[in-house]
Amino acid sequence: MNTQNPTTDAAASNLAGRRIVLGLTGSVACYKAAQLCRALVRAGAAVQPVMTEGACRFIAPATLQALSGRAVFVSQWDTRPADGMAHIQLGRAADAIVVAPASADFIAQLAQGRGAELLALLCLARPAERVALLLAPAMNRQMWAHPATQRNVAQVQADGALLLGVAHGAQACGESGDGRMLEAADLLEEVIAHFTPKWLRGQRVLVTAGPTFEAIDPVRGITNLSSGKMGFAIARAAREAGAQVTLVAGPVQLPTPRGVARLDVTSASQMHQCCLDCAGAADIFIATAAVADWRPEQVAAHKIKKTPGGKPPLLSFVECPDILADLAQSARARAGQLYCVGFAAESENLLANAQAKRARKGVPLMVGNLGPATFGRDDNALILVDENGVAELARASKRLLARQLVAEIARRVGAAGAAPEARR
């Protein structure tokens, strides 16, 4: 069994070697900061914890030291730095400062330019042109909604901080609403996205993922083994690269990538209509889904029962709509306004079948893989087939392959942020 976890794959996370100051302020959400610290370290980042005195009331510095492998800084008078200037040295040594949780009081300090404690001081003293400041607010719903807090939030954003937003739900005070700190997994996604080159900034990307399910009766149907993991990884990678992403997902049980708009469908006909509805607002279409080629001509109104000695029902089939071909032959695609990418999941003769499918569908780029070797797995190997020939993307995590594929697509469409050489 493949136990690789793309979320913690340092090569795929874009965080390997990154130096991150993780700041904690006074909030019960400090326990999530411990989870975030662990996730960042597993993703390859070097994490330096800095805590306010209030944060130390909620979680022991020893916890963060154990998780990060680094001594925790609390006091601005800490003499461990050679020059005694922790508020200068810690910020200078970082690639980013992530404050999670960021309390209402701490955000107010930043908005007003006050440095009552070490963490606020190093945020103020950081070289802002190269050290980003990411804030994950955590507070009661009424504190979050208060006009003073919203003014302060607007001010710190105007001053260059990146606000990671808040979650809605139950709060420690017993109330429910906006103000919860995002979960550690969501914050990790935001940090990864921050460090990802914005190859597709300003682009609108439509992605399909997963299988379709073609009903025979109310309880049975025809489907395939596609897990949707590759398509979801591509949607995530496109969003990290700066695109506005819409994901049309077949029946899979996968979490929606943060920042991605998801539309759930079941059948090929539903996916076809959904894609037609969305394609008019897209610049790039990536057809990753394993869509059924055929569906039963008639769907029984009730479960087809087996009778003793009876014969199995005879099923007749009709062809499902061809989503990729229809979009590739649309007026927008012919005018160069919609760049279409297809996927060919084959069981044999991968190159020949991918080349034939590309020609038949009329798309500029066809991505091929061996379905039985990748369905349900966290890794894959791809070939890219275009008018110039074929290129290979060696077996790796789907997360890493998705990032490589997105870079390739950006280069081919001439996106503003695309690297001259996208392949790694």
Cα-flanking dihedrals φ and ψ of residue 215, to 5°? -70, 140
The answer to whether the CB of 178 falls within 8 A of the CB of 138 is no
Q: Which residues pair with 207 in a beta bridge?
A: 247, 286
Task: Please state, in angstroms and rounded to a whole number, the distance separating the CA atoms of residues 258 and 295.
Answer: 33
Q: Does residue 111 sit in helix, strand or coil?
A: helix
CA dist 368 to 28, 261, 340, 390, Å?
A: 48, 26, 14, 10
Structure tokens at 16: 């390997």
> Shortest CA distance to 199 belongs to which of 16, 410, 39, 420?
410
> Shortest CA distance to 405 belongs to which of 362, 343, 351, 350?
343
Phi-psi category of 177—alpha, beta or left, where left has phi over 0 and alpha has psi -120 to 50?
Answer: left
End-to-end CA distance of the chain: 27
Give the active site residue among 56, 173, 320, 340.
173
Question: What is the DSSP secondary-structure string of 223-268?
Answer: -----SHHHHHHHHHHHHTT-EEEEEE-S---PPPTT-EEEE--SH
Give residue for tokens 């979490």: 255
Q: Where are the beta strands (DSSP E) in 71-155?
A: 96-102, 132-137
Known catalytic membership, residue 274: no
The answer to whether the CB of 153 falls within 8 A of the CB of 107 is yes
The answer to whether the CB of 101 falls within 8 A of the CB of 128 is no
Catalytically annotated residues: 173
